[in-house]
Structure 1
């Protein structure tokens, strides 16, 4: 198989990919992440995942490139990465005590021009927190660089009251979907390296 490149420098996505045991490397896609505000959350993550995968693929046309993007949606509003602590407080205020969706788009582009795409959605319910508990969570800085202002692979898992869907999707890369796309592209698993 050709080289596999993850079009992301996210530590959470790399940790999930590491678990597969496939050789790969990570590279920052370096793309504009602004999309039309008229797109649904699902269409936005599909477009951004494709944009990231294609940007890295242009630099390495002989490789397979996996791109992903994620957005949180609550009551019809799309939440992306907060700019500062106040924005994170505001985002979490919309999520605490409520159910929201997290959508992750995945795009795999191959050396022969093949494109495999999918969008995975999980639904999460968060506990209602006191203002003091929310501030203690914000003090951990887990909100930095995270759409929705939380990380479920760290202390943020204590926010979770319920989860419907693939937990790895919430962490940034829906591995059931990723494995399906890689298998359909011909990748082989469990081989000695």
Structure 2
């Protein structure tokens, strides 16, 4: 890595960590610990951009010499934005909205470097889910994959069996749009494929 200073992923998500691990860059994770509420007047794209920057800046304030990558994700169906469900009933309601329909996943990413230099991107992927009967939906809810996930599913797990069609970057659906992330890293001068 050409840049001096450590790289920190401002997230404790196991899915985001798995995607970052694939790049082979040395990094560590840290929980941003920020308020995730945004103004209802913001579009889904504006909300994820704002939250990704808030998370990255929060960790960067604690480590001003580091490079910090923040991310946030929301699901949009029709004109409604879906965040993380509070309980199984909320997860059921979210999935009932998505099954048999097409929805969008928006993920914002923000890279803050030494001196506070900031670059950001928003990636959108469109997914169509199969219509499934109520008993199958309940079996999926039994997996517990809905916990902590915007839209109440994980495509890197059993939730991929709900997926009829995907348009865009699959890693975006998993929580970290790696096409955008790599572009931000390259713009910042990171080098890849180096020996440890």
TM-score interval, smaller chain: over 0.9
> What SS does the corresponding residue of 1:103 show, helix, strand or coil?
strand
* CA displacement at 1:112 relative to structure 2: 2.2
How many angstroms apart in 2 are the aligned matches of 1:27 and 1:113?
A: 18
Give the whole-Å Cα distance in 2 for the aligned partners of 1:19 and 1:8. Answer: 16
TM-score (norm 1): 1.00
Say what the alpha-carbon RMSD is for the aligned residues.
0.4
Indicate which of 181, 185, 188 corresponds to 2:188.
185
SS in 2 for 1:149: coil
2:68 corresponds in structure 1 to: 65
What is the number of residues matched between the two proteins?
193
* Structure 1, 109-118 or 138-147: larger mean CA deviation: 109-118
* Aligned-residue offset at 1:113: 1.9
- State yes or no: 1:12 paired with 2:15: yes
Which of residues 50, 71, 75 is equivalent to 2:78?
Answer: 75
* Unaligned ranges ≥5, structure 2: none
What CA distance in whole angstroms lies between the structure 1 residues aligned with 2:113 and 2:30? 16
Write the distance in 2 (CA, Å) between the matches of 1:79 and 1:120: 16
CA distance in 2, matches of 1:89, 1:137: 10
- Give CA deviations for 1:74-127 in whole Å, capped at 9, x if unaligned: 011000000000000000000000000000000000002211100000000000
Corresponding residue SS for 1:122: strand
Question: Where in structure 2 are the equivalents of 1:28-107 lying within 5 Å?
Answer: 28-107=31-110
**Divergent runs of 4+, >4 A:** none
Question: 1:30: how far off?
Answer: 0.1
